[in-house]
Structure 1
């Protein structure tokens, strides 16, 4: 990516653009299963075989996904520039280069928690990218690199640093964070192993801290190698891929180096046009263009209590759950997402707060008092599908008809709530997905394959 101060070198090949991007930056469960439920709240990352490793979501979290065009620049644009582009440009996603030892435009004067809140409040979705250590065979001149020997350690440390930097900006658990892996020489077999080890360690580090793991890769190096080991039990599979191919084609299918069955559901982005300038709303920016259908940053939005008496915040989305704390009338609430729960007056929507508690949306100043608000994501806790093809059904059991096409292995199952259903192997838990269909929890990688997985709520 030219203007991105990436690298001085430009490596072309026959399939796509040069190496560089600008560094812009139970009750109801069987007795044996129920006995385990009390352990769930205290679970840490369990031992799990690759390639599907579970994400340990925090209580005040959710996954947010984008489905539209985006752009990236070296420095995060000013809020004034974003406001000028919002509504006048075709874009609703903006990339942020939020850390990494090899990041260009390291000063990032605009990239603060205040900027993040302002951008999200204006309607933008954020695509966080971390430019850390690079493979030793990377084309270009980046100084800080890893080999097969230290790739796992580098991936783990970069993942930990990325999580810390994301939290400092207010980018919450459930967010997708993307490691930038630049184009490299695939004839170096040791280096290819190093990339796979780095990405695997990055993925497990993020999952252990409650974040989804993405990678930015070149079509003819990183994407090809990760595709080749998609089902390998030696490496943790990232949740999403962002591929660079500057061919002007924004399609997220038909990629020549990864079949459509891989990273198939809100798990892909493509950088389809490199360095160029665009002017919208009277403001000109030097950008790359992207199509993003993938996890992005989750942030909290501020709303106020509208009730005339103290509002109860509960441990679940119904009045049957215990009261954790109360909020005074007019108090500010940090809302992460919304879910269905007990009906209260005009609405069945409940709001999840950053501390993991729930309040009825009836008494919160969100845009809607009767249904879901478009400005807030639905609460969802994705886990990768662990079998080659998983049947989704219209209800929580095998007696219900199949719904739609089976889900390929590695698909992100966006779980919104859980309910007791047909016993499948060791679990009676079934997951309702964002599209309303149901899958057995046994075949979704999360914190348990026998009982409930915190912090997923029970279905109403």
Structure 2
């Protein structure tokens, strides 16, 4: 589609907020302020594309994307990342792309992933993975004040044991990220992880994610979504440009003569600060 959506980047002064983090219930949890916010279309691919591909996509007049999601680490990361280095991050950032760091750590106990959350050790697992995620981001030149989005694939949030384990793991991961100066993002399906986070916020649970990436897909690849609203998450939760929506699952897009298999999201939330 050739219609260009408005892409804007807002730079916000780095610092630490002593206010209530959106979606949580306490002022005691100090959340790093976003260093950079992006509004527009974002794509993510399993493997970070070559710089030549990023340049070709950026130069195509039909390109509507201004951001790219990259998997910075995690035991559940599915694809090798031969391109993903600090030099790649710096070059992509310098060419005008916004970067969304993603960490694929332990998955819910009901998943078939090789690394699953253990209900008995969920907190220690989350703490360790959060520290690792911050280290992985830092090694790529992604600075504190940036978000890293925990990738929690769909799970049965109606199973109390599964739901409690995921929540314990996520809260510990969030706290570990904050301790390292990073924002804690969270990606999940609308009907599992996002529903669970909304319920936890309404219950007054602390240490919840700062930024939510909601996966609710439409079937029509011609659609371009420009809203982050979702029926399972009241607009009174996670306000103030802390939401994104992944609205297309795996599909192929060709720009600049280069085809990529991607997911597509509408973004109105923090992205990486590089350098």
CA contact (8 A) 2:25 2:201 kept: no
- Is 1:240 matched with 2:211? yes
Q: Tell which structure's C-alpha radius of gyration is larger.
A: 1
RMSD: 2.0
Query: With structure 1 as the length reference, what TM-score do the two structures score?
Result: 0.52
Q: Which runs of 4+ in 1 moved over 2 A?
A: 48-52, 231-235, 248-254
Shift of 1:234: 3.8
Q: Distance in 2 between matches of 1:216 and 1:142?
A: 17
Structure 1 residues 56 and 254 mapped into 2: Cα distance closer, same or farther (>3 Å)? closer
Q: Distance in 1 between matches of 2:160 and 2:118?
A: 11
Among 23, 30, 54, which residue is 1:54 paired with?
A: 30
Q: Distance in 2 between matches of 1:193 and 1:51?
A: 20
- Is 1:215 matched with 2:186? yes
Q: Distance in 1 between matches of 2:72 and 2:239?
A: 26
Structure 1 residues 56 and 249 mapped into 2: Cα distance closer, same or farther (>3 Å)? closer
Shift of 1:197: 1.0
Structure 1 residues 63 and 275 mapped into 2: Cα distance closer, same or farther (>3 Å)? same
Q: Mean alpha-carbon deviation: is it higher for 79-88 or for 174-183?
A: 79-88
- Is 1:130 matched with 2:103? yes
Question: Which protein has greater RCO, CA pairs closer than 8 Å, 6+ apart?
Answer: 2
Q: Distance in 2 between matches of 1:136 and 1:125?
A: 33
Q: Mean alpha-carbon deviation: is it higher for 228-237 or for 210-219?
A: 228-237
Structure 1 residues 252 and 200 mapped into 2: Cα distance closer, same or farther (>3 Å)? farther
CA contact (8 A) 1:100 1:131 kept: yes
Structure 1 residues 249 and 183 mapped into 2: Cα distance closer, same or farther (>3 Å)? farther
Q: Distance in 1 between matches of 2:157 and 2:64?
A: 36
- Is 1:90 matched with 2:90? no
- Is 1:72 matched with 2:6? no
CA contact (8 A) 2:228 2:268 kept: no
Shift of 1:154: 1.2
Q: Name the SS of the counterpart of 2:201 in structure 1.
A: coil
Among 219, 232, 239, which residue is 1:264 paired with?
A: 239
Q: Distance in 2 between matches of 1:76 and 1:56?
A: 27
Alignment of 1:20-419 (within 5 A): 51-52=26-27, 53-55=29-31, 63-88=35-60, 89-105=63-79, 107-138=80-111, 141-247=112-218, 248=223, 250-300=225-275
CA contact (8 A) 1:253 1:260 kept: no
For structure 2, list consecutive stretches of 5 or more residues without a partner in the other structure.
Answer: 1-15
CA deviation map 1:14-72 (0-9, x unaligned): xxxxxxxxxxxxxxxxxxxxxxxxxxxxx9x9xx9954510368xxxx61111110101
- The structure richer in helix per residue is 2
Shift of 1:265: 1.4
CA contact (8 A) 1:56 1:209 kept: no
Query: With structure 2 as the length reference, what TM-score do the two structures score?
Result: 0.85
CA contact (8 A) 1:252 1:268 kept: no
Shift of 1:281: 1.2
Q: Name the SS of the counterpart of 1:226 in structure 2.
A: helix
Q: Distance in 2 between matches of 1:124 and 1:113?
A: 15
Q: Name the SS of the counterpart of 2:232 in structure 1.
A: coil
Match of 1:28 in 2: none
Shift of 1:257: 0.7
